[in-house]
Amino acid sequence: MTLKLSQKQIGQRIAELRRTKGLSQEDLAKKIKISRPSLAQIELGNRSVDILELQKLSQVLRFSLDDFMSKDFSASQELNIKEEKKSKPVEDRISVPELQVDKFKNVLLYILERCAGKPNVGETVLYKLLYFSDFNNYEIYEEHLTGASYRKLPYGPVPQKFDAVINQMINDGQLQRVKTKYHGYPQTRYLPLKKADLTELRASEKEIIDSVIEQMSDWSAAAISNYSHKDMPWLASKEGEEINYELAFYRDAPFSVRNYGDEIEEQ
């Protein structure tokens, strides 16, 4: 029995088939000649699939269109999965972040140059400004800005190795740590003692950081933390685990910073 499927149902079935076949989003996108972000939007149900794309998908993932559109469709049945150990599916991440220490320091110094004088910008707000700068840059350009890894903790995403970098910068006379109170609550603040080396940043990267600062640097710690908790990379991650940068491609408004509708697909 066939039925009319919604975009979301089609996307879910394609994602299930892809994972069962052990393919990453990048692998499948290349095989059917579309961009990886476009495939991510298809799987999320935010982009429709035309008949030619569906035919290519059926050839690559080896499913029949009749079965795919049926009510009782199952990816495991379609692929005749046998009861045997299979290799672990390839993860969707196409590049593992690797911290670029000097660049991270200069991004931090630049943010502090512009924001350290604001009484709300303590450690919590600083974490989120770094997080959104990194993840917004990755969503738009598919490249890491600082290469920092972020972990999902109760008050929002936190950059790993932050304390080690900060202590090194303090010892080198680049930063000063200040313990104070803001609205009666303890607050850790950082004051820059030297200017950022902007030659470490591309103009496009500086634009990303500037846009994050303009949007969020006046928010309270509670407001920016609550906002980060609604971002898809945070929502889709498990407590205490590292947040996968690839999840930025699953963002919806108002978090998404890339215009997928106007994207020119790879031919």
Whether 8 shows a pLDDT value over 90: the answer reads: no
Residue-wise pLDDT tens digits, 19-42: 888 888 888 989 999 988 888 889
How far apart CA 32 and CA 12 sit, in angstroms, is: 17
Over residues 214-264, the pLDDT tens digits come to 999 999 999 999 999 999 999 989 999 999 998 998 898 899 998 765 554
Range of the domain at 62: 7-78
Q: Which residue has the tokens 């080198």?
A: 172
Q: Classify residue 209: in a domain, yes or no.
A: yes
Is 96 inside any structural domain? no
Whether 43 maps to a domain, the answer reads yes
Count of domains observed in the chain: 2
User: Looking at the domain assignment, is residue 94 inside a domain?
Assistant: no
SS3 of the chain: the string is: CECCCCHHHHHHHHHHHHHHCCCCHHHHHHHHCCCHHHHHHHHHCCCCCCHHHHHHHHHHHCCCHHHHCECCCCHHHHCCCCCCCCCCCCCCCCCCCCCCHHHHHHHHHHHHHHHCCCCCCCHHHHHHHHHHHHHHHHHHHCCCCCCCCEEEECCEEEECCHHHHHHHHHHCCCEEEEEEEECCEEEEEEEECCCCCHHHCCHHHHHHHHHHHHHHCCCCHHHHHHHHCCCHHHHCCCCCCECCHHHHHHCCCCCCCCCHHHCCCCC
Asked whether residue 266 is domain-assigned, the answer is: no
Residue 89 has pLDDT above 70, yes or no: no
- 165 and 203, same domain (yes or no): yes
Cβ 120 vs Cβ 182: under 8 Å: yes
pLDDT of residue 80: 47
Q: What is the CATH number of the domain that holds 47?
A: 1.10.260.40
The per-residue pLDDT for 75 is 64
Q: What local confidence, expressed as pLDDT, does residue 91 receive?
A: 45
Residues 56 and 127 in one domain: no
Poorest-pLDDT segment among 22-31, 43-52, 91-100, 192-201:
91-100
Instruction: State residue 267's pLDDT score.
Output: 43
End-to-end CA distance of the chain, in Å? 35
2 domain-assigned:
no
Q: Is 203 in the same domain as 133?
A: yes
Higher pLDDT residue, 71 or 160? 160
Residue 263 lies in a domain: no
In a domain, 90, yes or no: no
pLDDT for residue 103: 97
pLDDT digits 0-9 by tens, 40-75: 889 888 888 888 888 899 899 888 888 888 877 776
Partnered with residue 152 across adjacent β-strands are 157
- Range in 91-95, 113-117, 206-210, 241-245 the model is least confident about: 91-95
Instruction: For residues 99-116, give the mean pLDDT.
Output: 97
- Give the residue-averaged pLDDT of 95-111: 91
pLDDT averaged over the chain?
Answer: 87
Asked whether residue 73 falls in the same domain as residue 32, the answer is yes
Q: What is the pLDDT of residue 85?
A: 39
Asked if residue 156 and residue 233 are part of one domain, the reply reads yes
